[in-house]
Amino acid sequence: MEKLKAFFGYAMAVLAFPLIVVMIMAGVTGLGDVFVEATGLQTAAKFTGGEVVRTVGHGAYETRVHRMVFDALFWERSEGFIQVAWAPLDALPARIDEEIDADGDGQADFRVEVDTANKESTLTPYASWVLDLEGTYRLNDTLAVRVRLRNPSR
Protein backbone atom coordinates (compact mmCIF):
# COMPACT_ATOMS: atom_id res chain seq x y z
CA MET A 1 0.00 0.00 0.00
CA GLU A 2 2.81 2.39 0.93
CA LYS A 3 4.56 1.62 -2.33
CA LEU A 4 1.35 2.17 -4.30
CA LYS A 5 0.77 5.52 -2.60
CA ALA A 6 4.34 6.54 -3.32
CA PHE A 7 4.00 5.44 -6.95
CA PHE A 8 0.86 7.53 -7.43
CA GLY A 9 2.48 10.42 -5.61
CA TYR A 10 5.47 10.44 -7.91
CA ALA A 11 3.28 9.85 -10.96
CA MET A 12 1.11 12.85 -10.09
CA ALA A 13 4.17 14.97 -9.33
CA VAL A 14 5.71 14.09 -12.69
CA LEU A 15 2.44 14.82 -14.47
CA ALA A 16 2.15 18.26 -12.86
CA PHE A 17 4.79 19.63 -15.22
CA PRO A 18 3.20 18.54 -18.54
CA LEU A 19 -0.19 19.57 -17.15
CA ILE A 20 0.87 23.15 -16.51
CA VAL A 21 2.72 23.32 -19.84
CA VAL A 22 -0.30 22.06 -21.79
CA MET A 23 -2.76 24.34 -19.98
CA ILE A 24 -0.61 27.44 -20.42
CA MET A 25 0.09 26.67 -24.06
CA ALA A 26 -3.59 25.97 -24.67
CA GLY A 27 -4.45 29.33 -23.16
CA VAL A 28 -1.77 31.27 -25.02
CA THR A 29 -2.58 29.71 -28.41
CA GLY A 30 -6.30 30.43 -28.13
CA LEU A 31 -7.48 26.89 -27.41
CA GLY A 32 -9.21 28.33 -24.38
CA ASP A 33 -11.76 29.75 -26.81
CA VAL A 34 -12.93 26.19 -27.46
CA PHE A 35 -13.36 25.74 -23.72
CA VAL A 36 -15.39 28.95 -23.44
CA GLU A 37 -17.55 28.08 -26.45
CA ALA A 38 -18.11 24.53 -25.22
CA THR A 39 -19.28 25.77 -21.85
CA GLY A 40 -21.54 28.41 -23.43
CA LEU A 41 -20.11 31.14 -21.20
CA GLN A 42 -21.12 34.70 -22.01
CA THR A 43 -20.27 38.10 -20.59
CA ALA A 44 -23.03 39.34 -18.27
CA ALA A 45 -25.68 41.44 -20.00
CA LYS A 46 -25.06 44.11 -17.37
CA PHE A 47 -21.88 44.89 -19.31
CA THR A 48 -22.76 43.94 -22.90
CA GLY A 49 -26.28 45.36 -22.86
CA GLY A 50 -27.82 41.94 -23.55
CA GLU A 51 -28.90 40.32 -26.80
CA VAL A 52 -30.36 42.42 -29.63
CA VAL A 53 -34.05 41.48 -29.94
CA ARG A 54 -35.18 43.92 -32.65
CA THR A 55 -33.49 45.77 -35.46
CA VAL A 56 -35.11 48.71 -37.22
CA GLY A 57 -33.58 49.79 -40.54
CA HIS A 58 -33.32 53.47 -41.50
CA GLY A 59 -31.52 53.15 -44.82
CA ALA A 60 -27.89 53.99 -44.09
CA TYR A 61 -28.09 53.15 -40.41
CA GLU A 62 -30.10 50.90 -38.11
CA THR A 63 -31.51 50.86 -34.60
CA ARG A 64 -30.70 47.86 -32.39
CA VAL A 65 -33.03 47.33 -29.47
CA HIS A 66 -31.51 45.04 -26.84
CA ARG A 67 -33.54 42.96 -24.42
CA MET A 68 -34.54 44.45 -21.10
CA VAL A 69 -31.95 43.44 -18.51
CA PHE A 70 -33.08 42.53 -14.99
CA ASP A 71 -30.61 39.64 -14.62
CA ALA A 72 -29.69 38.18 -11.25
CA LEU A 73 -28.50 34.81 -10.01
CA PHE A 74 -31.81 33.25 -8.95
CA TRP A 75 -34.49 35.86 -9.64
CA GLU A 76 -35.17 39.02 -11.62
CA ARG A 77 -34.29 42.39 -10.19
CA SER A 78 -36.91 45.00 -9.55
CA GLU A 79 -34.88 47.54 -11.52
CA GLY A 80 -32.77 47.19 -14.63
CA PHE A 81 -32.12 48.84 -17.95
CA ILE A 82 -32.52 48.60 -21.68
CA GLN A 83 -29.81 49.44 -24.19
CA VAL A 84 -30.68 50.94 -27.56
CA ALA A 85 -27.86 51.34 -30.08
CA TRP A 86 -27.48 52.93 -33.48
CA ALA A 87 -24.93 51.80 -36.05
CA PRO A 88 -22.75 52.29 -37.97
CA LEU A 89 -21.34 55.42 -36.39
CA ASP A 90 -20.26 57.13 -39.60
CA ALA A 91 -23.74 56.85 -41.12
CA LEU A 92 -25.66 58.36 -38.22
CA PRO A 93 -27.54 61.62 -38.77
CA ALA A 94 -26.74 64.67 -36.62
CA ARG A 95 -29.90 64.09 -34.62
CA ILE A 96 -31.85 60.93 -33.88
CA ASP A 97 -35.42 61.15 -32.66
CA GLU A 98 -37.01 57.75 -32.19
CA GLU A 99 -39.78 56.05 -30.28
CA ILE A 100 -38.76 52.70 -28.83
CA ASP A 101 -40.87 49.66 -28.03
CA ALA A 102 -38.93 48.19 -25.12
CA ASP A 103 -41.11 45.20 -24.21
CA GLY A 104 -42.08 44.18 -27.75
CA ASP A 105 -45.85 44.67 -27.32
CA GLY A 106 -46.12 46.85 -30.43
CA GLN A 107 -46.48 50.10 -28.49
CA ALA A 108 -43.77 52.69 -27.93
CA ASP A 109 -42.59 52.83 -24.29
CA PHE A 110 -40.33 55.85 -24.53
CA ARG A 111 -38.98 58.40 -26.94
CA VAL A 112 -35.30 59.21 -27.12
CA GLU A 113 -33.64 62.14 -28.84
CA VAL A 114 -29.88 61.93 -29.39
CA ASP A 115 -27.44 64.59 -30.52
CA THR A 116 -24.98 62.21 -32.15
CA ALA A 117 -22.09 64.67 -32.32
CA ASN A 118 -22.15 65.62 -28.63
CA LYS A 119 -23.51 62.36 -27.21
CA GLU A 120 -26.31 64.24 -25.48
CA SER A 121 -29.71 62.61 -25.13
CA THR A 122 -33.14 63.39 -23.74
CA LEU A 123 -35.75 60.84 -22.74
CA THR A 124 -39.51 61.08 -22.74
CA PRO A 125 -41.07 58.11 -20.90
CA TYR A 126 -44.47 56.88 -22.09
CA ALA A 127 -44.76 53.82 -19.85
CA SER A 128 -44.83 54.20 -16.07
CA TRP A 129 -41.98 51.66 -15.65
CA VAL A 130 -39.54 53.70 -17.75
CA LEU A 131 -37.50 55.60 -15.17
CA ASP A 132 -34.73 57.79 -16.58
CA LEU A 133 -31.71 57.97 -18.86
CA GLU A 134 -28.56 56.34 -17.51
CA GLY A 135 -26.20 57.66 -20.17
CA THR A 136 -25.12 57.91 -23.78
CA TYR A 137 -22.09 55.94 -24.87
CA ARG A 138 -19.91 55.30 -27.91
CA LEU A 139 -19.45 51.53 -27.88
CA ASN A 140 -17.25 50.07 -30.61
CA ASP A 141 -19.08 50.98 -33.86
CA THR A 142 -22.33 52.07 -32.24
CA LEU A 143 -23.81 54.97 -30.36
CA ALA A 144 -25.91 53.65 -27.51
CA VAL A 145 -28.17 54.86 -24.74
CA ARG A 146 -29.10 53.00 -21.60
CA VAL A 147 -32.52 53.70 -20.10
CA ARG A 148 -33.28 52.67 -16.54
CA LEU A 149 -36.44 50.61 -16.09
CA ARG A 150 -38.55 49.24 -13.32
CA ASN A 151 -39.31 45.57 -13.92
CA PRO A 152 -42.86 45.60 -15.43
CA SER A 153 -43.43 41.97 -14.40
CA ARG A 154 -42.90 42.61 -10.70
Partner 1 sequence: MTTETQPSDQAKVQSPRMAVWKALLLCLPILLLSALIPLLSLQSGDPLMIISGLAVWILVNVFFVLMLITGKTHRYRSVLFIMIAIALPLDFIPWMFETYGSMLLTDETIYSGGASFCPLTMPMVIVPALVKRVVIFPGTLVGTGTHGIFSMMALLWLGVSLSIGRGWCSWGCFYGGWDEFFSRLRKKPLIKHKQIDRRWIYLPFGILLAIVLISALTYEPVYCAWLCPFKLVTEFQAPATTLAIIQIAIFILLFIGLVIVLPLLTRRRIQCGLFCPFGAMQSFFNKINIFGVRIDPEKCSRCEKCIRECPTFSLNEASLDSGKPLMTCTRCAHCIDNCPQGAITYRIKGTSLKASPTVARVLYLYPAYFLMAFIGGATIMNGLQRLLMLITTGSMLH
Binding residues (CB under 8 A) for partner 1: these are 2, 5-6, 8-10, 12-14, 16-17, 19-24, 26-33, 35-37, 39-49, 71-74, 135, 137-140, 144
Instruction: Provide, rounded to whole angstroms, the least separation between the CB of residue 80 and partner 1.
Output: 11
Report how far residue 40's alpha carbon sits from residue 99's, in angstroms, rounded to the nearest whole number. 34
Instruction: Provide, rounded to whole angstroms, the least separation between the CB of residue 132 and partner 1.
Output: 15
Instruction: Provide, rounded to whole angstroms, the least separation between the CB of residue 42 and partner 1.
Output: 6
If the CB atoms of residues 90 and 128 are measured against partner 1, the closer one turns out to be 90
Report how far residue 143's alpha carbon sits from residue 114's, in angstroms, rounded to the nearest whole number. 9
If the CB atoms of residues 12 and 60 are measured against partner 1, the closer one turns out to be 12
Instruction: Provide, rounded to whole angstroms, the least separation between the CB of residue 63 and partner 1.
Output: 17
Q: How many CB atoms lie within 10 A of CB 83?
A: 23
| Of the candidates 104, 40, 97, the residue with the CA atom closest to the CA atom of residue 66 | 104
Q: How many CB atoms lie within 10 A of CB 102?
A: 25
Specify whether the CB–CB gap between 136 and 59 falls below 8 A: no
If the CB atoms of residues 40 and 59 are measured against partner 1, the closer one turns out to be 40
